């Protein structure tokens, strides 16, 4: 079972799409890195996965015992 699963995640600020169609599954004890230029949505994606922001569309599932 994955600790966090994101399905079809999308986020926009006004008319500016930040990302769309993100699919991911983070298994237990996984180590990941998000790499990209400034302003491409890395922090926004992490905030959505952690539950601090809501995606415009898509679904995030977190393991019941997950602590952020």
3 in the Ramachandran plot: left (φ > 0), alpha (ψ -120 to 50) or beta? alpha
* Gap between the Cα atoms of 4 and 27, Å rounded: 7
| pLDDT score recorded for residue 1 | 74
Residues paired with 19 in a beta bridge:
11
| pLDDT score recorded for residue 6 | 97
> Which one has a higher pLDDT value, 59 or 2?
59
43: helix, strand or coil: helix
* Gap between the Cα atoms of 11 and 48, Å rounded: 9
Domains of the chain with CATH codes: 2-62 (3.40.50.300)
With a cut of 90, say whether residue 65 has pLDDT above it: no
> Which one has a higher pLDDT value, 46 or 65?
46
Q: Stretch 24-47: mean pLDDT, rounded?
A: 93
Note if the pTM is more than 0.75: yes
Residues paired with 9 in a beta bridge:
22
């Amino acid at each position: 079972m994955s600790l966090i699963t994101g399905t079809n995640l999308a986020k926009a600020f006004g008319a500016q799409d930040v990302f769309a169609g993100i699919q991911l599954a983070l298994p237990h004890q996984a180590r990941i890195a998000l790499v990209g230029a400034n302003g491409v949505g890395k922090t926004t994606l992490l905030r959505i996965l952690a539950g601090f922001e809501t995606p415009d569309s898509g679904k995030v599932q977190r393991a019941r015992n997950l602590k952020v």
